[in-house]
Amino acid sequence: MIFINVRQPNLLIHLRPIIAILQKNEADLTIIYNNDNVRTKIESEFSKLCFVEEQNIDHVQEKGITISADVHSKAPPNSFHLNTLHNQPVKYWLHPTNLLQNFDGFLCWGPFQKEFILHLYRQGGLIAPEIFESGAPLLDSLVYPHKNRADLEMQYGIKRQTKTVLYAPSWNKGLSLDKFGKDIIDAFKNCPKDINILLRLHPASLFSKEHDPNGYFTGNQAWLDFFKSHLADKENIFDLSGDPNAINAILLSDCVLTDFSSIAWDAMVTDVDLFHLDCPEWPTYAAQNKNFGLPKEVLTLQHDFLNAGRRYGNGVIAPEQISELLRAYSDGQKLPARQASVVRLHSRLLYNPGCAAQKTFEIVTQLHNKIFGY
């Protein structure tokens, strides 16, 4: 049996390609979930799946492999628990040891993520788990797109214009959406008409009051409604926040504009421009956050595990420079190129680029046979 612990709806993005490849190969799957919305969403996409609530998994006696994408995920007692971190390193200097001890192994995206996993276990004084070099199934279509850009533009109703800029922020307090959301809206509202703007808000920014009653993720702001109410009359602005395929937003873009979000690492797999937004208060917020391991402020800016690759992109700009950037694209001006150090990074990002889903299936199948003998 293969158990997939989805837990929260925002994690389905990362587990969807794994579910798909396992189901394609007729693996025996059971989905672990913790609310009915997650189950309903999965049932709308996949058929012939078994389900069990996370609160009941201690009573599951069947043996198997569990795959999860969150450090808070739980597994049935007789299973080998594999975690696939749902992004490249960003923000977290360490994780609580009681959470790391729950995993028997990791499905690892690439050498860079492997360094991060080993760092987490060293920081916690723990023996490192098994690390399986699977690659990142989510990013397979970045390497070998299933559709060309023209087809995607037709699919989303996007008119081909001069340039397309994607705004994809993270959700945390102190980052661009939280601190500068209104200013960014003004920049988009007044952008040149021959520039497309794509919005891809972090799934946590879209949580309902039910899933985020205290406003920890959203700041009690319905961000998508806020954007729509201010930008509804703009025919060159498109919301892709709810699209199940997060990668299409990058494939449609000439430039990715983000802050301390792992989508920056995803964009670096491609050759799109990548600009980071400066968020001066973020290092202070991070240094005070136990969930991030209380990283020192200087580390948050300088260490690659924490800064979303700021030293590899095209540059760091202030939010008030967004309008200038959009005008530059509209006018065809030459913009700063990616920093040369990105060349050294590319080989460290992904194992099995373009075929990670198939490799993941092989790893899980072989591991299941090795442990359980069938």
Which residue is it, tokens 């992109």?
313
Give residue 117's pLDDT: 97
> Tell me, what's the pLDDT at 363?
98
What is the C-alpha to C-alpha distance for residues 292 and 309, in angstroms, rounded to an integer? 17
pLDDT reported for residue 277: 97
**pLDDT of amino acid 317:** 97
A 10 A CB-CB count for 310 gives: 20
Q: E strands within 200-320? A: 237-239, 255-258, 273-277, 315-317
- List the one residue out of 290, 260, 285 whose CA is nearest residue 99: 290
DSSP letter (8 states) at residue 191: S
List, in order of start, the domains of the chain with CATH numbers: 2-136+352-372 (3.40.50.2000), 141-347 (3.40.50.2000)
- For residue 245, what pLDDT is reported? 82
Q: Residue 374's pLDDT is what?
A: 62
pTM (two decimals): 0.92
pLDDT attached to residue 232: 78
Partner residues linked to 32 by β-bridges? 5, 52
Contacts of 49 (CB under 8 A, 6+ apart): 23, 29, 30, 31, 42, 43
Helix, strand, coil percent values for the chain (each to nearest 5): 40, 15, 45
Distance (Å, whole) CA 161 – CA 130: 48
- Count of CB atoms situated within 10 Å of the CB of 13: 17
pLDDT of residue 244: 79
Lookup: tokens for 220: 């009690």
Averages of pLDDT over each 10 residues, the chain, 374 residues:
91 93 95 90 91 94 95 95 94 93 97 97 94 97 88 88 90 92 90 92 77 72 79 87 88 96 94 96 94 94 95 95 95 90 88 96 96 82
Q: Cα–Cα distances in Å, from 293 out to 97, 205, 266, 297, 307?
A: 11, 22, 24, 12, 14
Hey, is 242 helix, strand or coil? coil
